[in-house]
Amino acid sequence: MIGLLAATPLLPSSIKALINEPQITDTYLSNPKPEEPDPMCSTADDPLEEWRLRPRYPIAESDSPVVQRLLRATRTGERITFLYEGGSSPGSTRIATVECIFRHKNSPLLYMAAYCHLRGSHRIFRTDRLEII
């Protein structure tokens, strides 16, 4: 290394910078300071995923005739046909097999988890945006 340092005046500046650059120590790499999670930061990469991970509180009864009908379909396993005023194609007719009705903590909104036969996958629908036909 001494021979390299003696030849430093003859080297291009980019190589001089590499030679003189401070090195990261092994101690830093093996013992990095642990970071505390920020409670204001989301643990999910996107808001929709964060919403999906929130705890669900099942609903067993309701005063709403629509929700009562959905709860009955949950118990019997029958398919429900409805108009949905939300999602990617508002106003579309959907056929679904209801799995459960739920809400999130501190939210007045009710949701229906169901298998959507139109989309061929499990979906979540807001109950206030659907009309049973």
In this predicted structure, the answer to whether residue 9 has a pLDDT above a threshold of 60 is no
In this predicted structure, the answer to whether residue 12 has a pLDDT above a threshold of 70 is no
Q: Assign 132 to helix, strand or coil.
A: strand
Percentage with pLDDT > 90 across the chain? 47
Q: Mention every residue, 6+ apart, whose C-beta is less than 8 A from residue 129.
A: 84, 85, 86
| Nearest in space to 125 (alpha carbons), one of 133, 94, 61, 108 | 94
Give the pLDDT confidence of 16-66 residue by residue, as tens digits: 444 454 443 443 334 444 444 444 444 557 888 887 888 889 999 999 999
Q: Assign 45 to helix, strand or coil.
A: coil
Cα 97 to Cα 82: distance, rounded to the nearest angstrom? 11
Alpha carbon 46 to its chain centroid, in Å, reads 5
Cα 126 to Cα 111: distance, rounded to the nearest angstrom? 4
